[in-house]
């Protein structure tokens, strides 16, 4: 092999390595880091220095996706359960579509805080972050879902921080026949 051909081959290999290991901003990618994750939806995202997160998707009434450190993070709301709409093992339940729509209207595209609970695990068995969604005005959205009749109080194994408030909210929603508690809605 001639010297020119060897040098040309080395330059080609170096060029390919540079292209493969640099992202579009010229930063070296760490593809060997086990936490490396890249999503085209989050390429232009700036890391969050505050505690407000963008809600980028709503799966159903009690499960959302936020942008956390420029990565999609699924959040399961603590202390509530809304009727099912997306579980492939179950039919769509009464008032499920309404609960999902209510959550979409109120959260998608908005900024929220996520409050975890030291009395609960940080993540559930499906890898979802467990938390309370706090709106910019300080409203606990989990509790609002119960108050408006889109969810019922749900305790999974152990008590949680707002259990008393959520149970009171559910009793009020039932007494006032709101949402899924309205007469004739889910019979």
- The position carrying tokens 């330059």 is 11
DSSP 19-58: HHHB-TTSPBP-TT-TT----GGGTTPPPP-SS-EEEEEE
The reply to whether 37 belongs to the active site is no
The reply to whether 128 belongs to the active site is yes
Q: Do residues 68 and 48 touch, judged by C-beta distance below 8 A?
A: yes
The reply to whether 118 belongs to the active site is no
CA 26 vs CA 15, 18, 19, 58: distances in Å: 13, 9, 9, 33
3: tokens are 């010297």
Q: Which among 37, 38, 46, 84 is annotated as catalytic?
A: 84
Q: Do residues 65 and 127 touch, judged by C-beta distance below 8 A?
A: no
Total residues belonging to the chain: 187
Q: Which among 101, 115, 128, 144 is annotated as catalytic?
A: 128
| Rounded CA separation 67/47 (Å) | 9
Pick the closest to residue 145 from 107, 112, 90, 116 (CA basis). 107
Q: Give the residue numbers marked as catalytic.
A: 76, 84, 128
């Amino acid at each position: 092999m001639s010297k020119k051909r060897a040098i040309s081959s080395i330059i080609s290999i170096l060029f390919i390595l540079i292209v493969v290991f640099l992202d579009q901003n010229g930063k070296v990618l760490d593809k060997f880091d086990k936490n490396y994750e890249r999503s085209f939806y989050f390429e232009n995202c700036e890391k969050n220095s505050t505690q407000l997160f963008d809600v980028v998707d709503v799966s159903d009434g009690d499960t959302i996706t936020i942008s956390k450190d420029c990565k999609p993070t699924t959040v399961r709301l603590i202390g509530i359960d809304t009727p099912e709409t997306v579980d492939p093992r179950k039919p769509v339940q009464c008032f499920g579509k309404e609960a999902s729509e209510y959550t979409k209207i109120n959260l998608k595209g908005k900024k929220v805080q996520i409050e975890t609970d030291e009395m609960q695990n940080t993540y559930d068995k499906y890898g979802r972050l467990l938390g309370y969604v706090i709106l910019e005005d300080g409203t606990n959205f989990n509790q609002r879902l119960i108050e408006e009749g889109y969810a019922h109080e749900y305790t999974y194994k152990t008590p949680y921080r707002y259990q008393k408030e959520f149970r009171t909210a559910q009793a009020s929603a039932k007494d006032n026949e709101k949402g899924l508690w309205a007469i004739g809605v889910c019979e």
